[in-house]
Structure formats: C-alpha cells, structure tokens
Amino acid sequence: MLYVFWGEDGYSLRQAIERIKANAGDESVMMTNIAVFDGHQVTAAELEAACNTMPFLAEKRLIIVNGLLDRFEGSGRGRKKTSKKNKAKEEWEVFAELACNLPEFTELIITGEGVKATNQLLTALMPTGRVTRFPALNQNELREWVTKRVAEAGGSISASAREMLCRFVGNNLWMMSAEVEKLVCYAGGKTIEEDDVQALVSATKEASVFVMVDAILENRAGKAQELFHQLLMDGSVPAQLLVMIARQVRIIYQICELRREKKTKAEIQTALGMTNDFVMNKAREQADKYSLERLKDIYHRLLDTDVAIKTGRYEGELALNIFIAEIGQKDGVKV
C-alpha cells in the first residue's frame, strides 16, 4: 500500500502518520519493522532495499520517507540517472516506479509539505497511491479545530477567548496544540476566558511589542512608554525588549524591500522563515504604513541605544526610555 500525504498543515499530516503506525500492529513487534528516511537524502537503492526487506515476526513493514516530494519541487532539482542503454531517466521517475511497484508486505508513506499540485513525483504517484492533502486551515476551520482540541483535552473555551487565541497563534497547529494544553491545565476545569489567554499564551507579549512598535513609529511617545513599562511589570527585561523591537522593525523593513521586488506573500514568508501567521500578518500591516526612510532611522537609533547600554553609558530601562522619548519628538519624518 502506498500513502502520499502532502500539504501545508504539517501537524495534521504527522497525526495521520501516527494513526497508521498505531494501527500497524503490536508496538513491540513493529519497532523492528518501521524504517524512517529523510527524503532529501535517501537514494533510490536504499529505499528499494528497505521496501523489499521481509517483515520480522509481522505481516507488514512500514516505510516512511519524510519530504521526498519536496525534493522534486520546482524544475531542474532532480538529478538524472542513466541506464546502461544510455536512456536518461529523471530521478523522480526512478522513485515513482519504485513506489508504484511495492511488495504486498510493504506499506510506504511519502510526504511533502512545501509542494504544489504540479509536483512531478506527486502527479506520478496519484493514480496508484492513496493521496491525502492537508491544506492550511482557514479561519473557520481553525476555530472549529480549537474548540475540538480543547474539548479533547478536557476543557472548554469561550468564543471571545477562542478568537483571541486564533488571532495570536494563527494556523500553526503545532504551536496551537501546545498552547491549548497549557490553557486547559491553567484553567483547572473552568472555561478558558480572554484573561487566561492574555496571561498565558506566549504570543501575547509579542502582540504587545507590535502595538508598542506602532506607537513608536507613529510618534506616540506617551503610549509607547506606557506599553514599555507594562511589559517591564509583566517580567520582560530591557535587553529582551530591545531585541524584540529591533527584530520587528527589521522584519517590517525586509517586507517593504521584498514587496519592491514584487514578491508574493508566500514568497516573503518563506524568505523570512516565518511560520507564525499572526506575526506575519501584523508585520505586513505595518509595512503598509511606514516608509523605508522612517524604518531606517528607527533601526539606526536602536543600534545607538544598544551601544549605549553595552558601553555602560546608560542602564537598559533609561536607555529605552530616552530612545522612545527622542523618537516621539522627532519631526519632519514621513510616516
């Protein structure tokens, strides 16, 4: 049996693999009958040998090849393999032929998370394999997923708390699953409310930094300092906040530059290595509002502030207070 799992929702894809593993047979027996390969590194010969190895004290052998589809995403990425008759065969064709001619005792799972429907290997495997796509969840699907996951963990969540959680975490289900587990434990049998999310979810601190960066960039020094001191009271330290502010300004600047190069949202997200949709969407909103000149000016002033702290000219809290005050008083800069 050939399974082909692909799509952006890596969490659900992994859960599907775990279900197959759980149903494969006795766990102690299957330990010697499960082989996992990195699809970017495995050779066709290695995979063929694994697929043709007889199972030990079991009816089935399970082979998992993570990311093999990704290896052949885009043109010209696969190396060619030449037969004795000098007939060139694309590498993906070798793998496709192998996967479509499995022994009866072998179950093979091939995955890919960063691929399109036009992927050559995916297209070749579709007629033979049991193909399942795991797309990223839309907002309604994410809300339903959170409600179900909270219930499975033994808790309940209010609609407003669910909205806040979805807004902060986005559709990264690995992160969402971890946050749900923490919230259910924290609530202790009570319904999860907005205050619980605000108190516990790690992304809330980053959200506050976004608001503070907005206030800084818009010359609202009073609001920025209010948010700064609130973050300090919540346990943040000046050095950490300086890094977070600089990171956010740098991300906004990079998005502006990539947009000038006509990059798509997906291309920008990949280039920046960002997996949190909330962070990405907020940064895109901010990139719409501010000029490159403004962002450059802020970033250079952040570097000056960092030097002032590291050389002992000012201690951290005072240095950031001065930075916020000076930016707030700056005139003549196009926002």
Structural domain boundaries in the chain? 2-133, 139-200, 203-329
pTM: 0.61
Q: Which of 120, 103, 101 is nearest to 112 (CA)?
A: 120
Domain 203-329 has CATH 1.20.272.10: yes
Give the model's confidence band at 330: pLDDT under 50 very low, under 70 low, under 90 confident, else very high.
low
pLDDT score for 158: 96
pLDDT the model gives residue 204: 63
Q: What is the per-residue pLDDT across 200-230, written as a single tens digit (0 to 9) for each?
A: 776 566 667 778 887 887 778 888 888 888 7
The values of phi and psi at residue 246, to 5°, are: -60, -40
pLDDT in tens, 5-36: 999 898 999 999 999 988 887 777 778 899 99
pLDDT tens digits for range 109-160? 999 988 899 999 999 999 999 999 999 898 899 999 999 999 999 999 999 9
C-beta of residue 185 within 8 angstroms of C-beta of residue 155: no
| Fold classified for 2-133 | Rossmann fold (3.40.50)
CATH architecture of 139-200: Orthogonal Bundle (1.10)
